[in-house]
Amino acid sequence: MQGWALLHSDGNPIGAEMVKSRLEAAGISVVILNKRDSSYGMFGTVEVHVPEAELEHAKACLTEPRASEEEDGQCAQ
C-alpha cells in the first residue's frame, strides 16, 4: 500500500481493533489489513497501517500511558 506504513501486527483481530480505536481517537487515519486464513482463522496476522507522514505520531500515541492523554482523548503531538 503506497503511502501507508505498517505500525502494528497482531495475531488477534481484537488487539488490532483496540490499536485502531486508540489511534482514531487521536485523529489518526487507520487501515486494518486482515491477512488471517479464512478457512482456519488461527494462521496469519491482522495489520494496522497508518499514513507514512503520521507514523511517528502514531507510535508516540501507542507508547504514551493513557493517563497522559489530553481531556479530549487526543495524544500529545
Please state the separation of Cα 73 from the chain's center in Å. Answer: 15
Q: Is the dihedral of CA 10, 13, 17, 20 positive or negative?
A: positive
**Which parts of the chain register pLDDT below 70?**
41, 66-74, 76-77
Cell numbers 491477512: residue? 35
What is the model's pTM? 0.80
Domains of the chain: 4-68 (3.30.70.1530)
pLDDT for position 71: 53
Q: What are phi and psi of 5, to 5 degrees?
A: -125, 145
pLDDT for position 77: 56
pLDDT for position 55: 96
